Structure 1
Amino acid sequence: MNSSMAPEQYRKPPQLPPKFTATPSSLIEETKSLINRSRSVQDAIVQDVTPEKASFEKVVLPIALDDNNMSIESHIIGFYQAVSTDKALRDASTEAEKLLDDFGIESSMREDVFNLVDAVLKKKDPLDLESQRLLEKDHKSYIRNGLGVPAGPNRDRFKEIKQRLSALSIAFQKNLNEENGGLWFTPEELNGVPEDVLSGLEKGTGENEGKIRLTFKYPDLFPTLKYATNAETRKKVFVENENKCNDNVPLFRETILLRDEAARILGYPNHAAFRIEDKMAKLPKTVDDFLADLRERLAPGGKVEIEKLLALKKEDLKERGITDDTVSKYFLWDHRFYDRLMLERDFALDQQTIAEYFPLQTTIQGMLKIFEELFGLVFIEIIGDDRNALAESGKGSDIVWHEDVQIFSVWDDSGEGGDFVGYLYLDLFPRDGKYGHAANFNLQPGYTDENGKRRYPATALVCNFSKPTPKKPSLLKHDEVVTLFHELGHGIHDLVSRTRYSRFHGTNTVRDFVEAPSQMLENWCWTESQLRSLSHHYSYLSTDYEAAYKASSGASKKPSERIPNELISSIISTKHVNDALFNLRQLHFGMFDMTVHEPASHADIEKLDISTTYNRLRKEISQLDGPEILDHEGDWGWGNGQATFGHLIGGYDAGYYGYLSSQVYSTDMFYTVFKANPMNGKEGRRYRHTVLEKGGSKEEMEILEDFLGRKPSTEAFYKELGISQ
């Protein structure tokens, strides 16, 4: 809804949005003062409370309240490094995050505080459920941070490892964010790549005269792998992309070694056992069995899919008169190309035409409308004067970090009580130095403050879709529509969560559940009525776009405004095309993750060649060939994909399987509750209150069982993949 038409009741949210006016020096100053405040809270508790007098109110609660206050500032401090255009500010944000991480390590290893928390736990005073959970999780986290290890050289070493791991993780992610490599190609070498991609590329001068530069950012990389007819070009792009961040190779290895050493100091057999203990799976064996079962069920399908794709490849090369020794092999850099070709040839799936029906802005409006209907929400875009009115300074630019950012105030509809919910930000286009994938960032969590007053959340979607031009708006391919829906799903989880403590807010659930709510919402992108309601052909957006459409398509009249039925059918019919290969790719990531985090001994991990393991496992699991069979004579060290794999350094370690296991939960929820009627508002609201609202404030398996009315099962997941027993 446009705010110039926004009803009066939505004009004045009860809480101002955060400001984005930091400078490099203010970020560091603010961080230091947050840390000092927090440290003094802990010091005061230790000074004033003895183990005999320790209680939840005196020990755990003040720390939780401080935690609430801190997160209001600290999330934004760390957010600048993902979105700021100012390199000095990004660097300061990285430095501030390191200070916060170091302080987090120091706090988590304070034995004096731990002794008091331990005393509270042992007293077994009755507490409300969320407070009890907070006490248990806090207590456990001290033990997981080494306080169960007797003071001495082992504990000192553990602390040293924690600090080093934090520094490694920050450096690894910074290298990925700042990565700006690329390759120069002649226009001929990029034959087949869509014009709207090529026209945006840098033109060469001097020795690169006549060439264009392709970067490894998604909007360049994926279309090239999908459309470039020259296999040599695709190979080069694929291999170089796996080697784009080789500075991270030693950082990855050191991280894996240190994690293993730390887990063993704590008495765990390996890092996986340490990480999985407090997730839904509980034991590495549960994860290994799940992945092995899935692999066994998917492998035959993968084989069949490769045979079909290889037949298509042979036919394609024959038509183009190419005969060489690559004809009988199906390579990693073939897959996006022939997968797309198959969708076009066998399913009449024309991605470019489909994208014309999904201009970014109308698609977002359509999505927000779906969430309004399902969950009882209202989204009001804040623009112009309303922005100025909500900024303390009166300058609307103070409440966003870049001029492209959209901001919405989010409210309950009248049926849900009409209250304010929080703020949603959308930052949708690529920029230099910006986070390169699609993700949802919590900027400020929600919680109940010490006076029992509600503090409202703010959340941001950061994506990289192509920028609009005078001739075309930003158009989304169907898979980008799915991505947007998925990330917005995290955003909604973040907005509607109602927990007492920020520690459990929103997506702060265990990692093998956190993707389930978003994955479930992806199903809406595969249902006929939803696709139709989301669609809106771009030639209807303005007379300029209409003229540009007619000029570029040669059509004399506009197409239908909504996407035609045959295009919808072709999208839906392709949902599971080459699905086994897609899931085997996820399985490769998941199994690689478990392999490096589950060695039999520390010596085993020391002698493991990580790049070889990554590439060989991919071949064994996904069955696709790499350069090792061409010019590398069986050498598996041709690429270092793990060095570009931010997930394993950024929190998904021994947890990547969570994408697959939460797919099991999300499919179960969708089939059981929504498949019959995806727009059932009664169930939507029940889902909002039973699942999303709880955040991580209760055991995730219980949340799931409350919603399903039974224990979850893998049946729906295997049925959906067409591999049920």
Structure 2
Amino acid sequence: MAPGKFRKPPQAPPSFTATPDSVVEDTKKLLASSKKVTDDIVASIQAKDASFHNVLLPLAYDENQQSLKTHILGFYQSVSTDQTLRDASTEAEKLMDDFSIEAAMREDVFELVDAALKRGDKLDPESQRLLEKEHKSYVRNGLNIPAGPKRDRFKEIKKRLSQLSIAFSKSLNEEKGGLWFTAEELAGVPEDVVSLLKKEGDKYWLTFKYPDLFPTLKYATNSATRQKVFVANENKINQNVPLFREAILLRDEAARLLGYPNHAAFRIEDKMAKTPKTVDDFLGDLRNRLSQGGLDEIETLKALKKADLESRGEQFDGRYYLWDHRFYDRMMEEKDYQLDQQLISEYFPLQTTIQGMLEIFEQLFGLVFVEIVGEDRDTVSASGKGADIVWHDEVQVFSVWDDEGEGNGFVGYLYLDLFPRTGKYGHAANFNLQPGFITENGTRRYPATALVCNFSKPTAKKPSLLKHDEVTTLFHELGHGIHDLVSRTTYSRFHGTNTVRDFVEAPSQMLENWCWTPSQLKALSKHYSTLSPEYYAAWKEASGANAGSTEERIPDDLIEKLIKTKNLNGALFNLRQLHFGIFDMAIHEPKDHESLEAMKISETYNWLRKDISKIDGPEVLGEGYDWGNGQATFGHLMGGYDAGYYGYLSSQVYSTDMFYSVFKKNPMDPKEGRRYRHTVLEKGGSQDEMTTLIDFLGREPKTDAFYEELGLTKGTQSGATAS
């Protein structure tokens, strides 16, 4: 990493000193203040005098100021160890959502916004975009429905959907399930994992958190164990099943009240895809291209499974199950590619990998990251107490600056919260804590952003070690964080990752390519035995008496083997993504409301998975298609990706085009890196995302690179990549 000296930033980081009482009280005060701003505008401005400057601008300034606190008030529910604080944060989010729904349906404000739009004043492009988006949001929130019972019903639905989303997310965060297994049942699971499990008598408690779940599905030699874990994980939050169903039905009802044929038509209208047909055609075309490749991959994996079972004296029933896939996918890596993911992970200790990633962003985008530790935390804290600037003592915080070439200015704050905790958000995600924007007096307000992850904790003998897919996940989420940090928008509404859903993943997906580039893998790596004498002694003990030392950086032959696996079982990987995307469209694009009411959602989820991936589930063992409720664990579809999950695949079209066209020759080209920073990342959602892409590529985006990367060309139907 570039040597970053501590400098006191021009803006203090946010404080995390809330109590359950203060969270709710602060929320109520903020909402009352916002209501007064709006009421004052309505009281003092008549429609004939309404303009962007006297209606929209005061509302935008208020939104900017509110966002400095509201994001954090809602953030506690995802990270706090205090149940009462998490509950208060959930209550705060309900209050904020209810307020937003009421505010978005104020006809008196809409009349002013409508008049301001019709006035046609010449505005800068971002202000014009704000005016048009705000006007459209009132229409999409029901103000084209005549006042009366239908509009009241629409408002009622919006409030109920908010409650359902919050309750669904809370169940996910609070999930504490697991299963008891004997050591024999956990045979094959790495000792690193087993040693961290809670033990009572001769049984181990295996949770459904990623550091327990994935290694068990990858390494447990007992297929009955893998089956139990897989099925139980699909049923871990069955209390969410009725919430999910109710949300699907209410979304459809609301869309029809607005005059749309279904929820998908409503949601996709303002995305890059514009229409459900565009999405359905894209997903259908990709499915056709991948289907034969998936069948071919299953046959190869079946042969591997047959040989494995027969070598252990077990009988093969001719089937390849959902709980087999991670196990035999990993075995194929080891057998056919001599690739040992455990060995690879030894070269990616979490902290040195993070340092390497930050160094890449420094070189590419002209940034400097300075970790704030010890007394420096007291120096930057608004209260003078360093403990106030983090929500947990494991959290790391960095001040981020422009390098000399970019002007040495302050950029913002980056937080890393890396390990699992009870009640913590269970996946990996980037959370904006405070957006950036331009204040009323023309000064810049700097952003703060947090990565919340769940990597395995370090032990006395080993630091936290990352599998390659975890390295990729970390780089992806850091990519969102960088997008959040370097964004330069006038209004918080458009800051950073506040883009349309079918573009938002593209910048981070593009950066994943660095994790498949030999030079960057080498730069990111550092064998954990070289970090300290204690780690070296532990490694030597684990490796055997004859172990001398190992290379500090990951060897070229290991990198070569890893890169060869990039396309391994890639059709099945992408068919899994297609299952999610096609299920999402199926439940949000019914032909009529009655057919949706009749839909058996769990059966649809499981049937589509079988039909698309061709991998067997419990249904072939006589269980039927109602054996699991995977949709009840699927936070995306309740958290903003409804009728939008296709965006993970469609945005890969853009990300792959950008990488192949600009970065593939030289991923560390600083000139192109800075051009990408200024042309794409800085813009956030402040202009049409297609304009952003065309500005960067110099042309309209193409699908060629996407299909080439998947191993597909026009007319072929096999091969893919899991990048």
User: Residues 402-551 of structure 1: matches in 2 within 5 Å?
Assistant: 402-551=392-541
Alignment of 1:340-419 (within 5 A): 340-419=330-409
CA deviation after TM superposition for structure 1 residue 557, in Å = 1.5
AA matched with 1:173: S
1:41 corresponds, among 37, 42, 45, to: 37
CA contact (8 A) 2:13 2:382 kept: no
8 Å CA contact 2:77, 2:86 repeated in 1: yes
Question: Offset of 1:390 from its aligned partner?
Answer: 1.0
Counterparts of 1:302-341 in structure 2, within 5 Å, are 302-324=294-316, 326=317, 328-341=318-331
Partner of 1:73: 69
Question: Which of 581, 589, 594 is the equivalent residue of 1:603?
Answer: 594
The question of 1:171 aligning with 2:167 is answered yes
Kindly provide the amino acid, as one letter, of the partner of residue 158 in structure 2.
Answer: K
Report the secondary structure of 1:562's partner residue: coil
Letter of the 2:615 counterpart? L
1:556 positional shift: 3.1
The CA deviation at 1:386 is 0.6
Secondary structure in 1 matching 2:126: helix
Q: Does 1:618 align with 2:609?
A: yes
Equivalent residues of 2:4, 2:369 under 8 A apart: no
Counterpart of 2:631?
A: 642
Q: Given the alignment of the two structures, is residue 264 of structure 1 paired with residue 256 of structure 2, yes or no? A: yes
Per the TM alignment, residue 181 of structure 1 is displaced from its structure 2 partner at its CA by 0.6
1:24 aligns with 2:15: no
Q: Distance in 2 between matches of 1:291 and 1:301?
A: 16
- SS of structure 1 residue aligned to 2:566: coil
Between the aligned partners of 1:665 and 1:66, the Cα distance in structure 2 is 34
Give the C-alpha shift of residue 393 in structure 1: 2.5
> 1:574 corresponds to which residue?
565
- How far off its partner does 1:614 sit? 0.3
CA contact under 8 A between 1:214 and 1:221: conserved in structure 2?
yes
1:631 CA displacement: 3.6
Letter of the 1:376 counterpart = G
Does the 8 Å contact 1:275/1:654 carry over to 2?
A: yes
Residues 420, 454 of structure 2: 8 Å contact kept: yes
1:115 is displaced (CA, Å) by 0.4
TM-fit CA distance, 1:470 = 1.3
Distance in structure 2 (CA, Å) of the matches to 1:397 and 1:493: 27
TM superposition score normalised by structure 1: 0.98
2:176 corresponds in structure 1 to 180
**Equivalent residue number for residue 103 of structure 1:** 99
Structure 1 position 392, deviation (Å): 2.5
Query: Which whole-Å CA distance do the structure 2 matches of 1:528 and 1:211 have between them?
Result: 43
Note if 1:693 corresponds to 2:664: no
Tell me if the contact between 1:11 and 1:386 (Cα under 8 Å) persists in the aligned partners.
no
**Contact in 2 for aligned 1:497/1:695 (Cα 8 Å):** yes
| Residue 707 (structure 1) aligns with | 696
Matched, 1:141 2:137: yes
2:552 corresponds to which residue?
561
Measured in 1, the distance between the counterparts of 2:202 and 2:523 equals 44
- Find the aligned partners of 2:287 and 2:463 in 1 and give their Cα distance: 41
CA contact (8 A) 1:406 1:427 kept: yes
User: Is 1:684–2:673 an aligned residue pair?
Assistant: yes
Deviations 1:408-439 (A, max 9, x none): 00000010011000000000000110000000
SS at match of 1:188: coil
- Indicate if the aligned counterparts of 1:177 and 1:434 stay in contact, CA closer than 8 A: yes
- Deviation of the 1:323 alpha carbon: 1.1
| 1:49-60 matches, cutoff 5 A | 49-60=45-56
Q: Cα RMSD (Å) of the superposition?
A: 0.8
SS of the equivalent of 1:441 reads strand
SS of 1:429's equivalent in the other structure is coil
Give the one of 244, 264, 276 matched to 1:284: 276
TM-score (norm 2): 0.98
Report the count of equivalent residues.
Answer: 713
Is structure 2 residue 647 aligned with structure 1 residue 658? yes
Contact conserved, 2:510 with 2:655, CA < 8 A, in 1?
Answer: yes
Q: Secondary structure at the match of 1:190?
A: coil
Superposed displacement of residue 458, structure 1: 0.2
Matches within 5 A, 1:153-302: 153-204=149-200, 209-302=201-294
CA contact (8 A) 2:4 2:368 kept: no
**Cα displacement string for residues 76-125 of structure 1 (whole angstroms, at most 9, x for unaligned residues):** 00100000011110000000011000001011001100000000011111
Letter in 2 for 1:187: A
SS of equivalent to 2:504? coil
- Matched residues in 2 for 1:722 and 1:478: separation? 21
Letter in 1 for 2:647: G
Q: Are residue 589 (structure 1) and residue 580 (structure 2) matched?
A: yes
The letter for the 1-side match of 2:248 is I
Looking at structure 2, the residues matched to 705 and 340 of structure 1 have their Cα atoms a distance apart, in angstroms, of 40
Gap regions ≥5 residues in structure 2: 715-723
Deviations along 1:157-182, one digit per CA (max 9) or x if unpaired, are 00000000000000000001101111
Q: Which amino acid letter does the alignment assign opposite residue 75 of structure 1?
A: H
Indicate conservation of the 8 Å contact 1:347/1:574, yes or no: yes
Query: Where do 5+ consecutive residues of structure 1 fail to align?
Result: none
Following superposition, which runs of at least 4 residues in structure 1 exceed 4 angstroms of deviation? none
Aligned to 2:206, the other structure's residue is in SS state: strand
How far apart, CA to CA, are the structure 2 residues paired with 1:60 and 1:282? 26
For 1:215 and 1:305, how far apart are their aligned partners in 2? 30
- Matched letter for residue 297 of structure 2: E
1:114: which partner in 2? 110
Q: Confirm or deny: 8 A CA contact 1:423 1:458 kept in the other structure.
A: yes
- Any conservation in 1 of the 2:575–2:612 contact (CA below 8 Å)? yes
Structure 1 residue 395 displacement after superposition? 1.6
Matches of 2:137 and 2:218, distance apart in 1: 45
1:6 Cα deviation from its structure 2 partner: 4.5
2:720 corresponds in structure 1 to none
